[in-house]
């Protein structure tokens, strides 16, 4: 990044901190009103990116391009533009194609690739006046949950540099939590938005699968993949969702409580392996929700629900990878092949692909995949819908992750409640929404005794994203806790 950009209109650290603390909705309103310029706002965030470069949250930032886009936004505002994202910089996960800006997909052999087109969600953001601030670091090909990238480095958690950020939208979580950007576009296949959002203490929204465009975004699984957003509030996620989907504006709810709201939780499935601090806080959260009027009902999704969900999710995840990536590279003229990407992967990931992704691998099973898609997935969807219908609830509540962020040196194997687990456990709770195609929102609700944040997830009915976001906004107002680590 260039080192000679000065803050424009930010005369003190106090002003710079205030600018960095703005969410998407607040920043957009301030720019439209003329209270701040996009240029001063963007310059303040670029300065913050330099200050916190040790987080390794970005692979690419083109400062000159970002500032030029900000100046153009200020000119458009002066000419009367009222675009909903006018002049607001957003980060973009480096799995999204960005016209004229390097896109690596997190792998070394695309280090110099500059696309000629934008991904669909990026186009929607730009059409609404938004600015691409930079490309967030991610796990290679979005294939991991920790933020450990071999060619571009480990992303660090803003709450503690010795801990992971989560993944695969690793830099997205870190950059929003560190207030480098007000929001970041991410991708979620088994929890890759919600896991880093939870571990970094921000809001993460995974839409109903298929609700947001996926064109121009490197895939893993056509069954599970969705694009989405990480931000500082549910309101910010709602604005981005409205812009991407071109949904009608919904008036803000004037409810100051949760009276008349019925929620469900499933302790047998979501509290069986969990850090004691998070379990205690979750139970306290249920108490607090009841105190503000919510009915919170206990449900049971079945003794074998977790085992079916885990088995079928990972079967689909692994089986669809090779075909999905190969088609994406060909369709988007990406100058590499699946084999070249495979040969360049770090050893542990390459070994995993050789075992379960390649058709020649001993763990590659077409029969298990067909059972997962045609039998297990519909059964998971049925049980979820039945649990909500039986309880009369509009959403299922649970701790987003069973632990806070593990230390970097222990990210592959660590302890939860005395049990050694692998990093795959970080997605243990989030995979249900992925395989069932449901919308899910995670909001930060607390900090553990180790000083690290965690989230509360709400999963709703398929296709009822706006209703879920409205509900999440009310829950956020009652039990949310957005911390500012740096």
Out of 16, 38, 40, 93, the active site residue is: 93
Letter string b/e over residues 201-212, b meaning 16 or more CB atoms within 10 A of that residue's CB: bbbbbbbbbebb
The answer to whether the CB of 357 falls within 8 A of the CB of 317 is: no
Does 12 participate in catalysis according to the annotation? no
Between CA 403 and CA 426 the distance in angstroms is 7
The sign one gets for the Cα dihedral 234, 133, 166, 450 is: negative
In this predicted structure, what is the pLDDT of residue 253? 62
Kindly state whether residue 2 falls inside one of the protein's structural domains. no
Helices (H), 357-439: 366-371, 377-391, 431-436
pLDDT at 250: 63
**Block mean pLDDT (10 aa), the chain, length 486:** 37 76 98 98 98 98 98 98 98 98 98 98 98 98 97 98 98 98 98 98 98 98 98 98 88 76 98 97 98 98 97 98 98 98 96 97 97 98 98 98 98 96 98 98 96 98 97 97 86
Out of 16, 169, 175, 192, the active site residue is 192
The one catalytic residue in 37, 38, 165, 168 is 168
* Type and span of the H or E element at 22: none
Look-up of token digits 């949950």: 145
Task: With beta carbons less than 8 A apart as the criterion, state whether 326 and 357 touch.
Answer: no
Are 398 and 429 spatial neighbours (Cβ–Cβ below 8 Å)? yes
DSSP H or E run through 251: none
Please measure the distance between the N-terminal and C-terminal CA atoms of the chain and give it in whole angstroms. 21
- Look up 350 and say whether it is catalytic: no
Is there a domain that residue 484 lies in?
no
State the total domains in the chain: 1
Residue 186: per-residue pLDDT:
98
Q: What's this model's pTM, rounded to 2 decimal places?
A: 0.95
**How open is the CA angle 95-97-103, to the nearest 5 degrees?**
70
DSSP codes joined into one string, 76-140: HHHTT---TTTT-EEEEETTB-BTTB---TT-GGGTT---SS--HHHHHHHHTT-EEEEEE--SG
Q: Flag whether 486 is in a domain.
A: no
5 belongs to a structural domain: no
For residue 7, being part of any structural domain is answered with no
| Phi and psi torsions of 55, nearest 5° | -70, -20
- Report if residue 3 sits inside a domain: no
User: Residue 449's closest CA among 271, 198, 281?
Assistant: 281
| Structural domain boundaries enclosing 112 | 13-479
- Flag whether 155 is in a domain: yes
Residue 394: CATH number of its domain: 3.90.1300.10
Catalytic residue status for 192: yes
For residue 4, tell me if it sits in a domain.
Answer: no
Other beta carbons within 10 angstroms of residue 116's beta carbon come to 9
């Amino acid at each position: 990044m260039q080192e000679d950009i000065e803050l424009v209109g930010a005369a003190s650290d106090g002003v710079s901190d205030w600018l960095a603390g703005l969410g998407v909705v607040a920043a957009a309103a301030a720019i439209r009103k003329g209270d701040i310029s996009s240029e001063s706002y963007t310059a303040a965030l670029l300065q913050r990116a330099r200050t916190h470069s040790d987080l390794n949250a970005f692979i690419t930032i083109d400062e000159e391009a970002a500032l030029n886009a900000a100046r153009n936004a200020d000119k458009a505002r002066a000419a009367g533009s009222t675009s909903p994202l006018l002049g607001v910089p957003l980060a973009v996960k480096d799995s999204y194609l960005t016209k004229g800006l390097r896109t690596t997909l997190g792998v070394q052999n695309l280090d110099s690739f500059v696309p000629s087109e934008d991904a669909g969600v990026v186009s929607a953001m730009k059409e609404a006046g938004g600015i691409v601030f930079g490309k967030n670091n991610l796990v290679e090909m979005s294939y991991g949950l920790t933020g450990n990238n071999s060619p571009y480095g480990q992303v660090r958690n803003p709450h503690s540099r010795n801990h992971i950020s989560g993944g695969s939208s690793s830099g997205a979580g870190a950059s929003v939590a560190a207030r480098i950007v007000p929001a970041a576009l991410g991708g979620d296949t088994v929890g890759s938005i919600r896991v880093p959002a939870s571990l970094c203490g921000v809001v993460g929204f995974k839409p109903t699968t298929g609700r947001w465009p996926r064109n121009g975004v490197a895939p893993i699984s056509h069954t599970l993949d969705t694009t989405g957003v990480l931000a500082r509030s549910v309101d910010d996620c709602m604005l981005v969702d409205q812009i991407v989907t071109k949904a009608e504006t919904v008036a803000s709810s004037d409810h100051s409580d949760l009276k008349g709201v019925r929620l469900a939780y499933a302790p047998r499935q979501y509290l069986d392996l969990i850090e004691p601090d998070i379990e205690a806080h979750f139970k306290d959260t249920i108490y607090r929700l009841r105190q503000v009027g919510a009915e919170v009902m206990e449900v049971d999704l079945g003794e074998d629900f977790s085992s079916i969900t885990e088995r079928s999710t990972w079967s689909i995840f692994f089986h669809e990878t090779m075909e999905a990536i190969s088609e994406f590279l060909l369709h988007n003229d990406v100058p590499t092949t699946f084999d070249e990407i495979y040969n360049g992967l770090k050893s542990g990931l390459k070994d995993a692909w050789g075992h379960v992704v390649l058709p020649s691998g001993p763990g590659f099973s077409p029969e298990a995949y067909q059972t997962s898609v045609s039998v297990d997935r519909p059964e998971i969807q049925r049980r979820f819908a039945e649990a909500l219908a039986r309880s009369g609830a509009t959403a299922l509540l649970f701790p987003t992750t069973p632990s806070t962020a593990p230390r970097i040196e222990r990210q592959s194997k660590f302890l939860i409640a005395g049990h050694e687990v692998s990093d795959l456990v970080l997605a243990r709770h989030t995979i249900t929404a992925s395989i069932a195609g449901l919308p899910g929102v995670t909001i930060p609700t607390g900090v553990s005794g180790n000083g690290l944040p965690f989230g509360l997830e709400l999963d709703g009915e398929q296709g009822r994203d706006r209703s879920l976001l409205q509900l999440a906004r009310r829950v956020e107002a009652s039990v949310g806790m957005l911390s500012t680590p740096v």
